[in-house]
Structures are given as C-alpha cells and as structure tokens.
C-alpha cells in the first residue's frame, strides 16, 4: 500500500534505474564464467573509466566512498605525522592534517577524512551552483591543509580553474568527487582529468550504476599503484594473479590495506551501462530543460543555475524554495509526497549533522550560504525513463503547492 487512494495517479518514484536486456546479459555472462570476483571485467572497467576521463589509470572500488578514502590514503593524508603515518605516536588532534571540502555534499566525503585521522574543514559554496567557493577555499587553507575535495554538485563541474589558482601555488592536491558527474565537461575538458584524482560512484541512483561500486581515476601512476595496493588488503598479488594458469604464487602483505575491490558482476553491469552514458546524459539534459521551461513562471521556486562554460552530467534537478514563500522546503516536500511524487534532499550541510556538531564542534554560522541553501533545496525526480507527462505532473504539483 502506498497510502495514495485509488483513483489517484500511480506513485512517481524519485528514481528508477535504467536496466535493459544488455545489462542483464552482461551480468549473466560473468555468473556463467566461473570467476566471480575482480578480474577481467573490473580491469576493463578501469581502462574504460580512465579513457573517458582522459587519464591513464583507474582503480575499481566497491564504492565512491572507498575511492575517496584510497585517494586520501595514497596522498599520505593522516593524523599529522609527516612521512610514515605510524611514526608520530603523540600527534594530537590539534595537529591533524586538514582536508578542505564544501558541506553541500554526501557525508562520506567528510567521513573518510576522519577515517584517515585527519580533520575535515568545511568551506562555503557559491550561491548559484552550490559548488565550493574558491574565495572561501582560499580563506580556509592553513599550513596543515593536505588536500581539497571538490564535489561537482548535481553533476555541474566545480570552478576548477579558480580552485587550481588557489591550490597549485601551495602544491595542494585537488580530488574531484565526481559521484554526480560522470561524463560532464568543464571548459571542454572531461571531469576526471581536472584534479590529481577523481572518484566516481556507481551507486543505484547515480547516472551509471552497478548497484554498488566506484572508481578512482588519476594520471598519477604512483598514486594509482598505492591506491590499488591498499584496495586489496595491501597484498602484493591480487587473486587473479594468485590463482592464474601459472599456478599458485605466494603473496605478501606490505601495508594494512582495505577490502575495497570491485567484483566482476557489478563491473560488467557498469561496463554495459557505460555504453549508454551519452544517451543517458542527453536524456537527462532534455528532461532538465523541460523542467526549466515548465517551472520558469512558478513563483518562489528557483532552480540551480548552470554556467555557460560547462556541460553538466545533470545528475539531480535541484530547486530552491525562496525564503518567504507560502510553503517552506519541508512544506513543499510534504505536498509532493502527498501527491504521490518521490523527492530527495541533496544535501543538508554535513557540518550540521549531530556527530559533526557534537564530536567535532562545528556550528551553524560557519558556512552561511550552504546553511541557507540546506534549508531550501529539494531534488525532483530525474532519470532517463521519466516521461514528459511525469515532468508536467511534478511541475503542476509544485505550482499548486506554492500558489
Ligand atoms: C553518492 C555519493 C558519494 C558516495 O558514493 P558511494 O558509491 O555510495 O560510496 C559520494 N559523494 C557524493 C557527492 C555522492 O552523491
């Protein structure tokens, strides 16, 4: 039971994956191959993702979160000990390495900073795109800053040239959180090539899915090699090589690594989905433009803006409910839910979640633009397979609710 009475239109979900017969066949082929964990398909996915990003290396992971964690680990981000992280036993919290990121992102980007023993430093966003604000970034950098994570929010690339103007003179690596942005371009250059490394997500709701999965891409051979090692226990040979036709080989543990590898079933699904990436993103763009037209005259509702020098991946259609509207964001959310329309909130600012406030001392007022947006933003359904009539229904429901 959906709670919607009969006679009402069927519930419109916030997201539905686009899985076709080719996707099913790709997974079935792996199931029937006799080899289920990471092997040829994961390796092929690494090459594909590196290629579409215009870089040399890919490291397949079981999530984008894992890819971000590996990127930070491979860069040596830690508790403040320089060089070997284990060497400095009395590094106190005040001396921890810092990683700057914007709070309008998924919490895992900040959580992995903590997993490294480092401290997340939140800096404010630009009001038009909700991407990291280069001026706020410049103010947030300290001598302890070791890396910057720039999310391409909603699929719209961050202002990478200005971010590099801040970071490059300080030799600060920039990691792209490209979970929303596979296939996007910034000033003609592909996302994935715009920083030291980039992380993609193949989570169920992302533009390309493997159910769960992720990918680190980089042009930095040493970073890729370190991330690869750490992705599978810190083991000198992966399973494929341990049990190859050449027979069993001994392996060694050379670092306390993680279990972050991606197996071939999801890798095959992601490969099949990537065949459709251009078509998926083109259809997302068409639906976004339809939303733009239909919502243009709905008062009190403001879609995020897009800049002329980027091609977005159109991952999310985010609107902001203006302050002073007859309904606030939560009111609009309730009205759409009552109309049988699924919605999402991307994102309430990370630094205001209870753990971040209570354990780490973050407070409202630190990132005013992000905090205001966090109260106002709402994501409307957007996925290939959404029909024009669905978009019209959502737009109409917004118009009615805000009238
Ligand atoms: C989904 C998402 C992630 C995490 O992706 P997983 O593959 O689920 O780990 C990271 N950052 C952003 C911005 C996301 O939306």
pLDDT of residue 3: 47
Q: Cα Rg for the chain, rounded, in angstroms?
A: 22
C-alpha of residue 182 to centroid of ligand 1, in Å: 12
Instruction: Over range 336-344, report the average pLDDT.
Output: 98
The preferred substitution site among 15, 62, 64 for testing ligand 1, maximizing ligand atoms within 8 Å of CB, is: 64
What are the φ/ψ torsions at residue 214 (nearest 5 degrees)? -160, 180
Percent of the chain with pLDDT over 90: 87
**pLDDT, tens digit, 9 for 90 and up, residues 94-143:** 589 999 999 999 999 999 999 999 999 999 999 999 999 999 999 999 99
**CB-facing half-sphere around the CA of 287: CA atoms within 13 A:** 28
C-alpha of residue 18 to centroid of ligand 1, in Å: 19
Are 227 and 71 spatial neighbours (Cβ–Cβ below 8 Å)? yes
Q: How far apart are CA 74 and CA 68, in angstroms?
A: 10
110, two tokens: 């900040």
Q: How far apart are CA 145 and CA 113, in angstroms?
A: 12
pLDDT of residue 39: 83
57 beta partners = 218
Are 86 and 117 spatial neighbours (Cβ–Cβ below 8 Å)? no
Q: Which of 390, 356, 391 lies closest to 370 in space, CA to CA?
A: 356
Burial track 34-63 (b if 16+ CB lie within 10 A, e otherwise): eeeebbebbbbbbebbbebbebebbbbbbb
Name which residue sits closest to atom 5 of ligand 1, judged by CA: 64
C-alpha of residue 247 to centroid of ligand 1, in Å: 38
Banded pLDDT at 239 (limits 50, 70, 90): low
For the CA of 214, the closest atom of ligand 1 is 7
For the CA of 212, the closest atom of ligand 1 is 7
C-alpha of residue 66 to centroid of ligand 1, in Å: 10
pTM of this structure: 0.94
Q: Which of 330, 335, 337 lies closest to 3 in space, CA to CA?
A: 337
Is 41 labeled as catalytic in the residue annotation? no
**pLDDT, tens digit, 9 for 90 and up, residues 176-223:** 999 999 999 999 999 999 999 999 999 999 999 999 999 999 999 999
90, two tokens: 């009395």
Largest CA distance in the chain: 71
The preferred substitution site among 120, 149, 177, 202 for testing ligand 1, maximizing ligand atoms within 8 Å of CB, is: 177
Which one-letter DSSP state was computed for residue 311? Answer: E
Mean confidence (pLDDT) of the chain:
93
Kind of pairing, strands 119-122 and 98-101? parallel
Residues having CB within 6 Å of any atom of ligand 1: 63-65, 105-106, 108-109, 151, 177, 179-180, 201, 203, 214
C-alpha of residue 201 to centroid of ligand 1, in Å: 6
User: Roughly how many angstroms between the first and final C-alpha of the chain, as a whole number?
Assistant: 30
**Per-residue pLDDT for 243 more than 70?**
no
**pLDDT, tens digit, 9 for 90 and up, residues 48-85:** 999 999 999 999 999 999 999 999 999 999 998 654 44
Q: Checking phi first, is residue 185 left (phi over 0); if not, alpha (psi -120 to 50) or beta? A: beta
pLDDT of residue 9: 83
Q: How far apart are CA 392 and CA 356, in angstroms?
A: 39
- Pick the more confident residue, 280 or 240: 280
Q: How far apart are CA 158 and CA 153, in angstroms?
A: 7
pLDDT of residue 157: 98
**pLDDT, tens digit, 9 for 90 and up, residues 257-278:** 999 999 999 999 999 999 999 9
Percent of the chain with pLDDT over 70: 93
Banded pLDDT at 41 (limits 50, 70, 90): very high
Catalytic residue among 41, 206, 228, 241: 206
**Per-residue pLDDT for 328 more than 60?**
yes
């Amino acid at each position: 039971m959906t709670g919607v009475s009969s006679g009402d239109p069927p519930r419109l979900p916030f997201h539905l994956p686009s899985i076709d017969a080719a996707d099913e066949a790709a997974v079935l082929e792996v199931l029937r191959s006799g080899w289920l964990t990471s092997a040829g398909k994961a390796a092929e996915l690494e090459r594909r993702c590196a290629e579409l990003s215009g870089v040399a290396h890919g490291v397949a992971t079981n999530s984008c979160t894992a890819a971000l964690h590996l990127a930070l680990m491979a860069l040596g981000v830690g508790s403040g000990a320089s060089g070997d992280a284990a060497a400095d036993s009395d590094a106190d919290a005040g001396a921890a390495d810092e990683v700057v990121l914007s709070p309008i992102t998924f919490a895992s980007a900040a959580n992995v900073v903590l997993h490294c023993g480092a401290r997340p430093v939140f800096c404010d966003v630009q009001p038009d795109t909700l991407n990291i604000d280069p001026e706020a970034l410049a103010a947030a950098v300290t001598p302890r800053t070791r890396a910057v994570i720039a999310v391409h929010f909603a699929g719209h690339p961050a202002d990478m040239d200005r971010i590099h103007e801040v970071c490059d003179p300080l030799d600060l690596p920039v990691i792209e959180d490209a979970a929303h942005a596979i296939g996007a371009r910034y000033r003609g250059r592909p996302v994935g090539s715009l920083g030291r490394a980039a992380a993609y997500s193949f989570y169920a709701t992302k533009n390309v899915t493997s159910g769960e999965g992720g990918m680190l891409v980089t042009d930095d051979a040493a970073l890729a090699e370190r991330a690869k090692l750490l992705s599978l226990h810190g083991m000198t040979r992966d399973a494929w090589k341990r049990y190859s036709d050449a027979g069993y080989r001994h392996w060694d543990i050379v670092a306390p690594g993680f279990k972050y590898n991606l197996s071939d079933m999801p890798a095959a699904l992601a490969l099949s989905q990537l065949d459709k990436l251009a078509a998926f993103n083109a259809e997302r763009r068409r639906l976004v433009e339809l939303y733009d037209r239909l919502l243009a005259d709905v008062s009190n509702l403001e879609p995020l803006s897009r800049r002329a020098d980027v091609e977005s991946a159109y991952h999310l259609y985010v609107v902001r409910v203006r302050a002073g509207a007859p309904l606030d964001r939560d009111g609009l959310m309730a009205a759409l839910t009552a109309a049988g329309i699924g919605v999402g909130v991307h994102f309430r600012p990370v630094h205001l979640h209870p753990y971040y406030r209570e354990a780490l001392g973050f407070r409202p007022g630190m990132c005013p633009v992000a905090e205001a947006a966090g109260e106002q933003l709402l994501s409307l359904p957007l996925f290939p397979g959404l029909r024009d009539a669905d978009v019209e229904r959502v737009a109409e429901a917004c118009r009615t609710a805000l009238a």
